[in-house]
Amino acid sequence: MSPFVASWGIIGCGWISSMFVKNLCVVRSDDTDVAHSIAAVGSRDKSKAEAFIRENCPNGGPAQSNGLVEANPVACGSYQDVYENAKVNIIYIGTLNNTHYTEAKAALEAGKNVLVEKPACLNVAEWDSLVSIAKQRGLFLMEGVWTRFLPLVYELQDQLFNKKVIGDIKNVTANFSMAFYNIVPDSHRNFALESAGGAMFDLGPYIVLCAILALYHNPANERSKPENVRGVMSKARTGVDLSTTILMDFPKLEANAVLTTSFAYCSPKDERCIITGTKGEIVLNDGLSRLTQMTIKQIDQEPAPRVLKWKENVVVSRPLPGFGLMFEADAVARSLRDGKLENPRMPHEESRMVLKIFDQVRKQNEYVLPDGIEKIKSQ
Ligand SMILES: NC(=O)C1=CN([C@@H]2O[C@H](COP(=O)(O)OP(=O)(O)OC[C@H]3O[C@@H](n4cnc5c(N)ncnc54)[C@H](OP(=O)(O)O)[C@@H]3O)[C@@H](O)[C@H]2O)C=CC1
Ligand SMILES: O=C1OC[C@@H](O)[C@H](O)[C@H]1O
């Protein structure tokens, strides 16, 4: 049977869109049930879209080079032209944070399914509005947190919940930070208030994901939302958060999380996240967006307040083809093929939960965006 073809319309010709499209173009031996084509690429400047296609997908995606789809990608000088392109069945939004709501809404209103980059929107109210439009129109909507779909992440959850290699999970401590401050200009999207910059909006989705993967998804937690969410922000001179630490409690598990992100320095080397249980720990070794390796450290003695004996460390590696964004793209394609409006690995409710945490932490720390940046305000 020929594979289902996801025909992508790409919105914005920046860095992550180029990585996404390059990854759509990677031909793999295991991509037999779904295939990708790049139907249209949109930029505010048509010549930028043309250059983007030349550089990243001159022959389109595998579905085009294999002859499943005949047309080549078209360059569009407006995003709206992509939304209105009849060949497109899924829109990828790779534009700035402050535009996610507006662009996703325009795409949905034009009748298109949507994958929107993280953060899904700027607040819960914006996200609720998108979910409502998508449901009313019977369209697929998902926030792009590609990490969730990586092979190592499935392996991590198998080790934690099925093999229970570290016993009962009691703490998640994460730090995903990148040294952008004083290195890129203050006008960069990560520091401009107008682009809804700051470490929390940019890297926050990944640190909160650590708590979601190990605590929220823990079967013993029964999908209970985190409580006692507290955040501390240190501000950059532009007004966005330079460094943010978020604490949260999962009472059903008697467990908590301490999650940090910053643009002032690079994350601690080799130990971006430590998940600690009653029988050991799992350390996530690389950047929390692109996870490829973890180290399992198990206690080798009966329970006792002081641990003296450890088993030999076990390192688990799951290298990625390309950057690794194809796993998310495949998952989206399968959802479309199966007529789903959301993906069970990245459900609407979990995007909402993250945005609620961000709303709370922003309120606690008076991180206020300029008027008009949030199209709808959360209560
Ligand atoms: N999943 C992941 O690993 C990553 C996700 N991201 C997310 O993707 C989004 C984009 O990040 P990134 O690709 O690094 O950013 P870039 O600055 O490289 O690209 C952003 C694009 O947004 C479009 N855009 C629309 N309006 C504006 C505006 N007013 N000013 C500037 N650009 C505008 C531009 O496209 P054009 O000029 O073609 O119209 C631009 O190329 C962010 O929301 C970020 O959170 C980012 C990096 C990694
Ligand atoms: O999502 C992201 O991950 C990698 C970082 O370089 C980038 O700033 C961020 O948006």
User: Which pTM was predicted?
Assistant: 0.98
Residue 31 confidence (pLDDT): 58
What average pLDDT does the segment 336-350 reach?
Answer: 98
In words, the CATH class of domain 151-319+354-364 is: alpha beta
Ligand nearest to C-alpha 373: 1
**4-145+325-343 and 151-319+354-364 have identical folds:** no
Query: Is the CB of 297 inside a 6 Å radius of any atom of ligand 1?
Result: no
CB neighbours (10 Å) of residue 191? 23
Residue 214 confidence (pLDDT): 99
In ligand 1, the atom with minimum distance to the C-alpha of 201 is 45
Per-residue DSSP letters for 323-338? SSTHHHHHHHHHHHHT
Could you tell me the distance, in angstroms and rounded to a whole number, from the CA of residue 203 to the centre of ligand 2?
6
- Across the chain, mean pLDDT equals 97
Q: In this model, does residue 361 exceed pLDDT 80?
A: yes
pLDDT tens, 292-316?
A: 999 999 999 999 999 989 999 999 9
In ligand 2, the atom with minimum distance to the C-alpha of 202 is 10
DSSP β-ladder status, 90-93 and 4-11: parallel
Which residues have any ligand 2 atom within 6 Å of their CB? Answer: 178, 202, 289
Q: Which fold has domain 4-145+325-343?
A: Rossmann fold (3.40.50)
Q: In this model, does residue 161 exceed pLDDT 90?
A: yes
For residue 379, name the pLDDT band (cuts at 50, 70, 90).
confident
Pocket probe for ligand 2: among 99, 289, 291, the residue whose CB has the most ligand atoms within 8 Å is 289
Per-domain boundaries in the chain: 4-145+325-343, 151-319+354-364
What average pLDDT does the segment 149-156 reach?
Answer: 98
pLDDT tens, 176-189?
A: 999 999 999 999 99
The helix or strand, by DSSP H or E, that contains position 152, with its residue range, turns out to be helix 151-157
What average pLDDT does the segment 158-187 reach?
Answer: 98
Query: Is the CB of 44 inside a 6 Å radius of any atom of ligand 1?
Result: yes
Q: In this model, does residue 338 exceed pLDDT 90?
A: yes
Pocket probe for ligand 1: among 16, 103, 325, the residue whose CB has the most ligand atoms within 8 Å is 16
Residue 334 confidence (pLDDT): 97
Per cent of the chain over pLDDT 90 is 97
Q: Whose CA is nearest to atom 17 of ligand 1?
A: 14
In ligand 2, the atom with minimum distance to the C-alpha of 206 is 1
Pocket probe for ligand 2: among 180, 195, 203, 286, the residue whose CB has the most ligand atoms within 8 Å is 203
What average pLDDT does the segment 146-174 reach?
Answer: 98
